[in-house]
Each structure stands twice: as C-alpha cells, then as structure tokens.
Amino acid sequence: MKIVFLDRKTLGDDITLEKFNDFGTVISYNSTKTEQTQERVKDADIVITNKVVIDKKIIDNSNIKLICVAATGMNNIDLEYVKLKNIVVENVAGYSTASVAQLTFSFMLQFINKISYYDNYVKSGGWENSDIFTHLDKPFYDLVDKKLGIIGFGTIGQKVANIGLSFGCHVSYYSTSGKNNSATYNQVELETLLKESDIISIHAPLNEKTMNLLNKSNLSLIKDKAILLNLGRGDIVNEQDILDELDKREIFFATDVVSKEPIEKQSPLLKIKNKDRILFTPHIGWASKEARIRLVDGIINNIKDFINGQ
C-alpha cells in the first residue's frame, strides 16, 4: 500500500505517524497546494487529507481506493462522485468533543472573570503599589444562574450544556437541524434564544440552514453585555454585521473560526475599535494533544477496517 498524507502539518509536529508504516510506504507532505494535489496522489492507494480538496478531476486521474479525512467534516471531498467510483471515504467523529467544549469555557471564563485585565494589573505593577489587598476596578461575574443558549445541539453542544449545568447555568438550545431533542434542556426558537441568553455558544455545522445564520437582522436581538461564542464555522456569523454590533454597543464576541482561514489581513473582525470586546484563537478548538492522538488512532482504525474488509 502507498499512503500519502497531503497536509501533515495540520496534526502538529508533536504527533507521531509511525504506526502508519505498518501498512506500507508512507509519504507525508506538510501542506499541499491545489496545483500539487494531482501529482502527489496519482499513484496512491490511500490518501489522508484534513483540508486539501479531492474533487472529480483528482479522482479521475488517480487510483485512490480509500480517502481518510483527518477531521469530522468532509466538505472537501466530492462525496457523490466517490460513490460512483466505489472509493471509500472515512472520517473520524467524536475525537474533538472534549477539546472544543474546553475552549468554549475558556472563552466564556475569560470574559466573565476578566483574567487578562487582572493579570496585566499585577504584571504592570498595579498590585504592588496598591494600598489594599485586592483590586475590584473591573467587575466580574458568576456563571451561576446565567442563561446559556446553545446553537447546534449535537455531541459538542450537548457536552457544553452538561458542563454549563454543572456551573449552575440555565441551559436552552436551538437545534439547527430540527432533529436534536432533549428531555433535560429547553428547546427554543432562535429569536428567543438570542433575546434571553446571557451567553450564546455556537456548535453547529455549516450548511444551507446555518450559512449567515446570525446577521444584521437578528444580532440586534442579543442583549447588552451578552457574550457570543463561535466554535462552529466562520460563515455562521456574518463578520461585518457582528463587527458593526460590537462597535455600536457593549457585547462580547469570541471566535475560533473565521470565514476564510487563515484570517485575511482585510477581515472586518481585525478592524474592530473596541479590541477588548473580541477574542480570537486560530481554529484550535479541535486540537488538544489528546484530541489529535485520538484522531490519528481513528484514522489508523479506519485503514485497518478497510484492509480487513477487502
């Protein structure tokens, strides 16, 4: 077997791929540009890709038997065409649930507890020059009794709900698919969730229903001082519209994802006037070390299953 990994760098240098050598010859590329893909996969039996696109043209000019997506989402693969060509496509589900939920609460607590402000206060010499033992110039708040609204109630959304409950939050959710029902949590319409929630956390996939889901027409419903978190996909929140809202009034926004990744220099989000109202991370929610190890193990199991099923 010849295995080609097209964007190995997306897994990080601290993750080993040694186990893949058990299956045959492994060739890894840190990254692959669109014009390089065809040449690199033409003789491959198995292709591993995180974000590199495998389309009809690539498929027609190769002998690929198995495509392993090093992620849960498979929108970079022409799924309809691979079916026609009898090519197996496997992803890895569930590996990042804990990691995404953890970043969600890291964002949340950063805004709630004002950690950056107080850390800077101490490091800049404020505390050592104080005449009292504490410093309360920047109010912070309890999570207890806050209303946490979750948009998208799949595995990750449910995990966030459970953690929120342990913090004493009142949890409600909006199911973007309409298929996720819960006896534990209150299901509401999107408009209600936006109006009532103190914290809104997005954990939905990007599709026709969620594209531009939050925009000028409904972002204005979010109450003052509320926190909006996006750990789904960038295009779920209209970036210009949330920028306008952030500059207009005191709400807070944290996002792990943007519409074009890596973020573009001209992104509206980088032009915000009130920088303390926004937090960024560069699409790392899925990527704790443990999550990446689980991902690699999942890919290996998919290859084993494929080989054993031949």
Q: Confirm whether 261 is a catalytic residue.
A: yes
Query: What type of residue sits at position 196?
Result: E
Collapsed DSSP state (helix, strand, coil) of residue 69: strand
Q: Please identify which of the residues 233, 277, 292, 294 carries the catalytic annotation.
A: 233
Q: Please identify which of the residues 39, 191, 250, 261 carries the catalytic annotation.
A: 261
Runs of H (alpha helix) within the chain = 34-41, 56-60, 79-84, 97-113, 115-123, 155-166, 190-196, 216-219, 239-248, 289-309
Q: Confirm whether 18 is a catalytic residue.
A: no
Collapsed DSSP state (helix, strand, coil) of residue 3: strand
Helix (H) or strand (E) holding 5: strand 2-5
196 dihedral zone (left: phi>0; alpha: psi -120 to 50; beta): alpha
Per-position b or e across 182-216, b if 16+ CB within 10 A of its CB: eeebeebebeebbebbbbbbbbbbbeeebeebbee
Catalytic positions, please? Answer: 233, 261, 283
